[in-house]
Structure 1
């Protein structure tokens, strides 16, 4: 059974390693080799320290194995990250993480979530109820521009406790 656990600052190196594997394997069909290289070689952003220190991250685990993670900025309602081990993509882990992030959103009384979706993840987010608002070039902290979709999702009032 998949369990969601809060992430902490000490988890950043392992989470970033998982994210790098996901970028290299799951994004390669949607971005150039040069983009993948720059994207995957970039270090964790400084914002991860604040986000993980303020209980914005959830880690999905099963039998002690880390399966993926998600981060929701409690200040803005932006889904900052949602990554799953590449070999486990499509197994419901991302959905479980998104449900957990919605729980955090409910704690903060958000009525809407937003995010920048990489092209490979857009269909997943559509299945989760997000709507593409615009297609744009996201400036990644590494200095490259990545085509992405800015997406939003209204949260039902029944999910806000």
Structure 2
């Protein structure tokens, strides 16, 4: 059974390693090898310290193994990250993480979430109810530009308190 646990600052290296595997394996179908190399070699952004310290991250685990993680910025309602171990993609882990992020968003009083989706993840987010508002050139912290979709979603009424 998949459990969602709060992410913590000491988890950053392991989460970032998971993210790097996901970028290398799952994003390669939509981005150039040069983009993938630069993207995957970038260090964790400084914002991860703040976000994980403030309880914005959820880690999906099964039998002690980390299968994915998601981060919601409690101040803005932006889904900052949602990554799943490549070998576990398509098994409902991302959906479970999104449901957990919905719960955090509801606690904060958000009625809408937004994110910048990599092109390979757009169909997943559409299945989660996100709507693409526009295509954008996302300036990644590593200084590369990645084509992405700015997407929004109204939270399900049953997640609001």
Q: Fold conserved (TM > 0.5)?
A: yes
How many matched pairs?
Answer: 161
| SS class of match (1:125) | helix
Match of 1:148 in 2: 148
RMSD, aligned α-carbons: 0.5
Q: Distance in 2 between matches of 1:127 and 1:93?
A: 13
| SS class of match (2:44) | coil
Kindly state the Cα deviation for residue 156 of structure 1 after the two structures are TM-superposed. Answer: 2.8
Kindly state the Cα deviation for residue 157 of structure 1 after the two structures are TM-superposed. Answer: 2.9
Residue ranges of structure 2 left out of the alignment (5+ in a row)? none
Residues 36-75 of structure 1: pairs in structure 2 closer than 5 A: 36-75=36-75
Kindly state the Cα deviation for residue 159 of structure 1 after the two structures are TM-superposed. Answer: 1.6
Match of 2:11 in 1: 11
Match of 1:117 in 2: 117
Q: Distance in 2 between matches of 1:73 and 1:136?
A: 20
| SS class of match (1:76) | coil
| SS class of match (2:49) | helix
Q: Distance in 2 between matches of 1:77 and 1:66?
A: 24
Residue ranges of structure 1 left out of the alignment (5+ in a row)? none
Q: Deviations over 1:81-112 (max 9, x none)?
A: 00000000000000000000000001001000
Q: Distance in 1 between matches of 2:12 and 2:148?
A: 24
Kindly state the Cα deviation for residue 24 of structure 1 after the two structures are TM-superposed. Answer: 0.2
| SS class of match (2:74) | coil
| SS class of match (1:35) | helix
Kindly state the Cα deviation for residue 42 of structure 1 after the two structures are TM-superposed. Answer: 0.2
| SS class of match (2:59) | strand
Runs of 4+ in 1 over 2 A off after TM superposition: none
| SS class of match (1:132) | strand
Match of 1:138 in 2: 138
